[in-house]
Amino acid sequence: MKKSKIIILIREGEDFSSYLGYIKEMQLLFKKEILFLILREKKISDFLETHFMASALAEEGAQELALEELKNFSPDTRNYIKELINQLKLASLENYEILIVTEDLFKEVKGLLEKEFRVELFIISPKTNEKFFSKPKGLKKLVEEFTVPFITLIPKTS
């Protein structure tokens, strides 16, 4: 039987810390693991194997080895992933994975995810929201490909 997960799509570099309390509530409500998909705009198809390796290591509880795998990423990506992991620890969020994808690879990753597990809920971050809403076909295509509940987050204001 396939595991069910909550997917959260975030654009690389986006500050997501103010949403982690809500994410934790959703995780407790659904009682599911969380998969953070970090969306990169740059083409990194040469590093796909490394990305999946880092994700697998993190899933197995070997975060240090996963961070070692991140040496193949740009310094900005490494710093962003390290900061996200620190934020997740501070929020006491557990049972999560992080996978880096590109817009070019999103469809391929989608296929992999469908084979590996079911998607219970799909949460889209504000910056990703802006990207998909600026291209109506992008969001429509995403909604058609995933027949699950979607939550689109809006930017927090003070």
Annotated domain spans of the chain: 4-31+58-132
SS3 state of residue 98: strand
Beta strands, E only, 1-158: 3-11, 33-40, 96-102, 117-124, 150-152
Mean pLDDT of 8-30: 90
Q: What is the mean pLDDT of the chain?
A: 75
- pLDDT of 35 above 80: yes
Strand order in the sheet with 117-124: 96-102, 33-40, 3-11, 117-124, 150-152
- pLDDT of 23 above 90: yes
Token readout for 28 is 């407790």
pTM, two decimals, is 0.74
Model confidence at 49, pLDDT cuts 50, 70, 90, reads: very low
Q: What's the Rg (C-alpha) of the chain?
A: 15
Beta strands, E only, 12-81: 33-40
* pLDDT score recorded for residue 121: 87
Distance CA 116, CA 21 (A): 27
Quick: pLDDT tens for 67-102. Answer: 555 666 777 887 888 899 899 999 998 888 888 776
Residue 93's CB is within 10 A of a number of other CB atoms, namely 17
Token readout for 112 is 């992999």
Closest CA to 98 of 31, 2, 8, 23: 8
Residue 8's CB is within 10 A of a number of other CB atoms, namely 24
Mean pLDDT of 21-29: 92
Quick: pLDDT tens for 116-128. Answer: 777 888 888 888 8
Model confidence at 26, pLDDT cuts 50, 70, 90, reads: very high
Beta bridge partners of 119: 5
* pLDDT score recorded for residue 104: 61
Burial degree of 98 (CB within 10 A; 0-12, 13-18, 19+):
buried
Beta bridge partners of 36: 8, 98
